[in-house]
Amino acid sequence: MSETFTIGTRGSDLALAQAVSTEAALAAAFPDLQVVRNVIRTTGDRRTDVALSEVAKVEGVLDKGVFTKELEIALDAREIDLAVHSLKDVPTVLEDRFAIAAVLERAPIRDVLLTRDGTALENLPAGAVVGTSSVRRARQLQWLRPDLKIIDLRGNVPTRLRKLAEEGTYDAIMLAEAGLVRLGYLPLVSAGKVEPLAGEDAVIATLHAERLPEDVFYPAAGQGAIGFEIRADDARACDIAEMIGHRDTWLRVVAEREFLRLLDAGCHTPVGVYTAIEHGQLHLKARVFPEQGGDPKTGDLSACTSDPLHAAFLLFESLS
């Protein structure tokens, strides 16, 4: 194959890191394929002036599509053949002419609490201010620690880290471990302990991270996974994506996203869900918070890995 293949990505540091991983996987699988990168600005990148939960409303974008719509327009226009996404930002239901073709092997799925002084979540003093723009993180934090104060925090990952390091507004912020690993702030493998960040930025390197185990703080569906969206009728892109996809990650994220779809959580239902594969078994655990507040419904289920859609259905049915 010596023709070109164009991938589309957002322009944030995190998105570009994900594009680099994708290009590396493509280069390894298809040494002769000429891969071109097309960087695209999305509504979510443009509107950093309002809370993330408001962007879709003020922009008239389909909910949750604020980071993906412009990439779909580029797919439609054949300006790109494959869109590289953080899978957790991709709506669970796509228009018929698009499809998620595959996912790369997953990065860590955990959430991380970042502080200036290394205080762990359980030791944050009452009234401490935690910044996040995710309703899932906000509601779960409030449930675990009703004495904390949660306020909105926007911007890309380095911006958020700088806000914590330089301003007195936040005592802590929350981010995905996957993003911190991809940007080089945390090593790939480590225990749940509190450790300093690394990286070129001296201010950011003063911060400390606590990796919260997934059974303590439930991640988002698809967290840590890089997904490839293509035109559903593009057999070549489908073939190419398939070759760099990772099977176990695929089975897990299919289950997680199907569970979210069954809840119709495109709305603002805060949902934490995670999966693991062990000896042919798919393990699923979920916390679903009612929109109005209160305790979550929970689910904990194991099923055969061969049918992740059914496993998600069983998890959905078992919520109590």
Contact 94, 65 (CB under 8 A): no
Alpha-carbon dihedral 183, 186, 190, 195, rounded to 10 degrees: -160
- Whichever of 223 and 249 has its CB closer to ligand PBG, that residue is 223
Smallest distance, Å, CB 318 to ligand PBG? 26
Contact 223, 178 (CB under 8 A): yes
Distance CA 125, CA 227 (A): 38
The residues of the shown chain that bind ligand PBG, judged by CB under 6 A, are 86, 88-89, 157, 175-176, 178-179, 223-224
Find tokens 């805060």 and name the residue. Answer: 270
**Which structure tokens are listed for 197?**
């960040």
Smallest distance, Å, CB 220 to ligand PBG? 7
- Whichever of 234 and 245 has its CB closer to ligand PBG, that residue is 245
Annotated catalytic residue 13: no
The DSSP call for residue 89 is G
Q: Are strands 34-39 and 82-86 parallel, antiparallel or unpaired?
A: unpaired
- Whichever of 86 and 305 has its CB closer to ligand PBG, that residue is 86
Find tokens 């209160």 and name the residue. Answer: 294
- Whichever of 124 and 180 has its CB closer to ligand PBG, that residue is 180
Smallest distance, Å, CB 28 to ligand PBG? 21
Sequence-separated (6 or more) residues with CB below 8 Å from residue 275: 252, 255, 256, 282, 283, 284, 285
Smallest distance, Å, CB 18 to ligand PBG? 8
Smallest distance, Å, CB 135 to ligand PBG? 11
Smallest distance, Å, CB 180 to ligand PBG? 8
Q: Are strands 4-9 and 34-39 parallel, antiparallel or unpaired?
A: parallel
The catalytic residue among 63, 76, 89, 96 is: 89
Contact 278, 261 (CB under 8 A): no
Contact 234, 81 (CB under 8 A): yes
User: Which parts of the chain are beta strand (E)?
Assistant: 4-9, 34-39, 82-86, 98-103, 111-115, 129-131, 149-151, 172-176, 194-196, 208-212, 226-231, 271-278, 281-288, 297-304
- Whichever of 55 and 82 has its CB closer to ligand PBG, that residue is 55
Sequence-separated (6 or more) residues with CB below 8 Å from residue 163: 131, 153, 155, 169, 170, 173
- Whichever of 207 and 303 has its CB closer to ligand PBG, that residue is 207
Q: What is the set of active-site residues?
A: 89
